[in-house]
Each structure stands twice: as C-alpha cells, then as structure tokens.
Structure 1
Amino acid sequence: MSTHTHDSIRAVQWTGTQLSLLDQRLLPHESVYLEMDTATAAADAIRDMVVRGAPAIGVTAAYAVVLAARRAWAADQRGWRAGMAPDLKALADSRPTAVNLFWALARMGQVMEGLPDDQDPEPALLAEAERIHQEDVDGNRHMGDLGAALLQDGRDVLTHCNTGSLATGGYGTALGVIRSAYAQGRVKHVYADETRPWLQGARLTAWELVQDGIPVSLLCEGAAASLMREGRVGWVIVGSDRIAANGDAANKIGTYGLAVLARHHGVKFMVAAPTTTIDMEAATGADIPIEQRGQEEVLELAGRRVAAPGANAWNPAFDVTPAELIDAIVTERGVVENPDLQKMKALFAAD
C-alpha cells in the first residue's frame, strides 16, 4: 500500500524567476518565505539556518547555481564559468557536514561542463535543478513506503530533529517514513525530541506534524530513556546528514545518545536518508567533518543569555552513530539491515 497523504509543506520553491525559501527560524509562529535572486543570498540562508536539513540544502544549492549562472552570463557572456566561481565557493563553504550540498554542486557542475562557452547556461541548469528537486520528493515517497514496511508492532515512534518536508525537497526522510506509516495505520502517535539548542523538534517537527494531522507529543531529550523504559516506542527513526561507507551515520547532536538508549531498551533504530547522503569516500564516521557552531546558541535563548556569566559552551552540531547500533538504513534504493561496508557497497552495486 502506498499512501502519500499528510503532505502539505514545501520549504524550497522555485517561483519561475527566483528562489523562495520558507524561513524556518520564524516557525512555528510565522510562515514567511524569503525571495532571493543571488547565489550568495542562498549561501547565507543555508549558513544562517533559514533552510536546513541535508536534502533541502542540496536542492537549495542546485537552484542557487542557476542564480549564479544568470548573474555570470549577464556580466560576461564568454567568461561566465569564471564568473560563477566565487558564488560556487560561497555555496560550498556554507555547511561543511551536509554531503548533499557537495553532491548537488557536483551534479550541477557536470551539466556546466557539457555546455559551450557561448550558450546561456541558465535553461539547462534550471532543468537539472528541477530534476534534482523532483527526484528528491519521489525518492522520499518510495523511502517512506520501504521504511513503513519495517514497522510491524504498531507501537509509537520517537524521532529527533526535523527530517520532514522542511528538511527535504518534500515529504521527508525519517518523517516521510512516519507519514507513510501513519497513513497505513502502522503508527498512531509520534514522540519528538525538542532537539536543543535550535529546537528543531519543538519548532519544526511538531509544527509539521500538526499541520498534517498526525498526533505528536514533544519531550526533552533527557526524557527519552524513561519513554523507552515504559515500552511506549518500538522504533527510533532519524535522518542523517552524512553516512560513511561502513554505515556510521552523522546526524543532529543527540542522535548517538538515542541509539545507545535504544539498544539498551530493545528499541529498534532506523536511519532514513537518500543515497545522496552516503559518502563512500568516508571510510568510517571518524572521516566525517563535524561542524562546530557558536557558543551563543547554547549560552543564550532567543538572544537572551540564560547561562551563568563566565561559563563557556561546547556546541558540536552533529554526532556519529556507529553502524553496529543501527538496525536499518532506509534509502530510496533499498533497505540495508545491520549495515556494514559490504552491505553498503552492495546497495550501490544493485543497478
């Protein structure tokens, strides 16, 4: 059964002339779309968390390349390639952990390589960006069905951070699995971690589930162990920003702790992510760069300091969950149970 309901949100849109991004920093209180017509504005939006979630960052970057091409062609119709270079570098520098960003830039780069120097690059690049966007949504829907099929016991699920339409081109990765499972009657209730310090679970995941009519309860990360001990959840379902060749998965800080808790309590642990998130050049999670963000994100709340004066903060944006704690990696190309290097290689060999 494939039921793709409970899906009303698109955070990344192409208006026909420019890029439109739902400003996720203002959710859940305001739904404001920011229009941008330069790649540098898009790079700033990625870095400043207007748009976040690895697949959504990739789709945004693809459209940003279109904007870079438009500007470069208008400035110099013979030297547009060189003119695009600063914009492409700004995009590459915007979020170092999200491998989808670099995948999207590389794919757009392949289209650029095939274009003659005297041809306006925008139409071909726009067609490719739109293809990347649609493939993401279609892949997420297929991934949702594959992941939902694993949820047999009908118990509630726990998720961390935001992995839905807001984090992707549409439908979502882990939240796509939850959407499909809810539509099929396999899940009746979702528990969502607040996800400190940016509160993506509270502001984004809870908002998204409410918008689409899926029952959700919010909890502090520190309450997850008690939730599991009470037997309330059968699966933890999360996304990933980069998966190594051996199946180690980097995701929002706090994910690793959930995996340890899940194993102790006999709860299954699923990572749902497109194959564009898998970095076969990274042998293990130790090879994944972990973004360190500003101390003020931890020391302050809504711009007001809450920590004791003089205290410092340690603020990694991501942690790495070892493959041995992951029961299943669900991708649009198939499911890898108990992942390891051989199984990950086989996923890509199955063309």
Structure 2
Amino acid sequence: MSQGIFPVQWHEESVRLIDQTRLPAEYSVVDIHCVEDMATAITTMIVRGAPAIGVAAAFGMYLGARDFSGSDLQEFFAHLDQVATRLRQTRPTAVNLFWAIDKMSTAAQACSGSVGEIQAHLLQTAQKICADDIRTCQQIGAHGLTALPQTPEKLRILTHCNAGALATAGYGTALGVIRSAWAAGRLERVYADETRPRWQGAKLTTWECVQEGIPVTLLADTMAAHCMQQGMIDAVVVGADRIAANGDTANKIGTYSVALAAQAHRIPFFIAAPASTVDLNLPEGTLIPIEQRDPQEVYLPDTHRICPEGVEFYNPAFDVTPAQFIKGIMTEFGVFPPAQLEAAIRSHLSSGNQG
C-alpha cells in the first residue's frame, strides 16, 4: 500500500495533506488553500518529516504567490519575500524547508515573464519538487539496501521516529530502505521506537508497516539498548532533519541515545536522507538550531496530565548525533562515510548528477 501513501499532493487547485495528527485512529485529509494555512499545518505537524515539510513549503510558496492579484513585478517579488519569511518561521531545524523556499524563490527570479507566467512556473516547480522527492527516496532505498549488513539470515532493523512515506512525498527515506529490504526478501522484522513525546514511531511508522504487511514490533524508547544487548537488532536506520557538512546529524529527539547504544554493541548505525538535507553551510552539528516545542507535548500526551503541577519542562524536538557514531549516510547519490559526505555531495551537485 506504500504506493498509495502520498502525504502532500496538488489536488483541485489546493494542496491536500494527510492529517498526521489524527493517525492511526483516523485517516483524514486537509485541503490547504492559502499560505497561512500551510504555515499552520507545518507548525502543528499536520505535515511533518523534513522532506515532506520541504515539499509542503514549495507548494506554500506557490499558494502565497497565487494570492497576489496585481501586475507590478517589483510588488510581486516583495510579496513573495513576505511569503518566504512567513514559511521560514514555521520549523527552524528541518533544512529541507529552507532549501525548498530558496529553490522556489530562485525559480521565480529566473522566470522572465508576467506575474501570471511566474505564478504558473512556480506551480510547475513545486510539482516537480514533489515528484523528484519520490524518485529520490526510491534511489535512497536502492543505495541503502546495498550498505546493509550482508548476512545469511534476514535482517532485523531498528528505526526511530517516522522517516517513511508520511515524512516525504512518498516511499520514505529510512523506511524506504526498509521497504527495499522487504521487497528484496532480506528483512525479517522492523523494530520501531515509540518516539516520545509525540509518538511518531508508535503512531506513524507502525501504521505504515501494517499497511503493507511488513512485520513490525513496537518498542518503548527505553528498550532499544536492551534489545541490542539481547542480539535482537542487526542494524539501525533513521532519517534526518539536518546534516552538517561533517556528517553530524540532527534527527528526532532520542536518536543520539540510539546511536550511543548501537556503538556500544557494535551495531551499524545509518542515516538515510536526501542531499537536500545536507547543509553545506554548517561545518558541524553544534551549529544546527534545535527547535524547542510546547511543553504540553511532554506532560499532556493524551487527555490526562502525567505529572503534578509545579514541575518544569524541557522539550527539544531534535538532538544531534556526532558523525563518529554514524557508519554511513544513505543518499540518492550513494552511501558515504561522514568524512566523505561533503566532497561527494559537492561533486554530484556540481556535475548535475541526480543519482
């Protein structure tokens, strides 16, 4: 069923999003007609996952451009800058958001024509970004499969958070690698961390696996190291929200703990992400901005408060895993050790090679 999971789609003059805040209890969609609604959808995590946020932001740029009804180009570009500023305010860590906004702005500037012609070009550009993301994820899955441990037995892979079709335009990054392993007959089981405080692993990754019959076992976040100690895990594959030039990687909070446990048990730990997630402007991970979210996510995970009044809270959405704990970074161009990542990405981007 993965071929039918498309969380961000252009549909009848609006952007149709799968409302991920309602899964797995309810599958519903939200139609977005204006940039402010898109900004709200990104902030509230109706749409989430770095690549999906990028695709949503691209469509958000078009929706904002479409709202302009005049013909003066200078006024139009000033308006488009305001749209870009609004979208940049939504999620600070996921670099794909900024990559997509910049790509749309560049496309607008490069288009010589009327306001209407530029608006039409922006829609085409957003649609291409969406289609390219699906193709990119499939390439990541193919390359990632070759880097997984070569064992006579089928693999048991641990993942953290959701880096599946729901986190992209379709197919997924980390879960795309897992899908490729399943299709190749090399996967025995997925172990999915629940991913507190928003439960993306429990709610989303397990949902995706169930849709297509991939065996999946849900773990509380505190169980990963124990499962490694018991010999239950052969490899770890997770996604990323921003990768520094040296390979340091920001991903959902709790990822660093998993990487440390994997290192201690000599289990290969992989990142799966498109090249657009690599921020070549940041030399190392301490410079990655970490989003701080509403503390209510911690103390009110459902309808009942889980701690007494007077408790203080700390709710970073992401942590940074240093490159030294990462065996390889799976991209659409291939799989690279962190030390080789920057040179490989620059080489492929300069040559125009798309994998």
Normalised TM-score (structure 1): 0.95
Q: How does 1:172-321 map to 2 (within 5 A)?
A: 172-321=172-321
User: How far, CA to CA, are the matches of 1:311 and 1:230 in structure 2?
Assistant: 35
**What per-residue deviation string (whole Å, max 9, x for no partner) do you get for residues 250-296 of structure 1?**
00000000000001111110000000000011110001000111111
Paired position in structure 2 for 1:31: 27
Distance 1:70 1:346 in 2: 37
Distance apart, 1:135 and its partner CA = 0.9
Secondary structure of 1:270's counterpart equals strand
Task: Indicate whether 1:56 and 2:37 are aligned.
Answer: no
Asked whether the 8 Å contact 1:291–1:317 carries over to 2, the reply is: yes
Instruction: Give the conservation status (yes or no) of the 8 Å contact 1:198–1:297.
Output: yes
1:119 Cα deviation from its structure 2 partner? 3.1
| Greater Cα offset, 168-177 or 121-130 | 121-130
- Residue 103 (str. 1) matches residue 99 (str. 2): yes
The offset of 1:122, in angstroms, is: 1.9
User: Which residue of structure 1 aligns with residue 155 of structure 2?
Assistant: 155
Counterpart CA distance in 2 for 1:51 and 1:167 is 8
Distance 1:7 1:115 in 2: 33
| 3-state SS, counterpart of residue 246 of structure 1 | coil
Name whichever of 238-247 and 80-89 sits farther off.
80-89
1:77 aligns with one of 71, 76, 84: 71
TM-score (norm. length: structure 2): 0.94
Aligned-pair RMSD on alpha carbons? 1.3
1:346 corresponds in structure 2 to 344
Contact 2:236 2:270 in 1 (8 A): yes
What amino acid does structure 1 have at the position aligned with 2:60? A
Give the partner amino acid of 1:135: D
Secondary structure at 2:175 match in 1: helix
Amino acid in the other structure paired with 1:77: S
Closer, same or farther in 2 for the Cα pair 1:189/1:122, shift >3 Å? same
Among all aligned residue pairs of Structure 1 and Structure 2, give the percentage whose two residues are the same amino acid: 46
Between the aligned partners of 1:257 and 1:343, the Cα distance in structure 2 is 23
Q: Is residue 2:88 matched to residue 1:92?
A: yes
- SS of 1:14's equivalent in the other structure is strand
Deviation, structure 1 residue 36: 1.1
Deviations 1:209-229 (A, max 9, x none): 101211111000101111101
Contact 1:8/1:212, CA 8 A, preserved across alignment: no
> Match of 1:7, as an amino acid?
Q
Q: Which amino acid aligns with 2:129?
A: I
Aligned-pair CA distance for 1:348: 2.1
Tell me how far apart the structure 2 counterparts of residues 144 and 155 of structure 1 sit (CA, whole Å). 15
Q: Deviations over 1:97-126 (max 9, x none)?
A: 010000000000011112346331221001
Q: 1:41 aligns with which of 37, 43, 46?
A: 37
Q: What code does the residue aligned with 1:60 have?
A: A
Distance 2:182 2:241 in 1: 24
Distance 1:346 1:208 in 2: 32
Report the counterpart of residue 143 of structure 1 in structure 2: 140
**Matched length:** 343
Is the 1:336–1:347 Cα contact (8 Å) retained in structure 2?
no
Question: 1: CA distance between counterparts of 2:65 and 2:245?
Answer: 33
1:188 CA displacement: 1.6
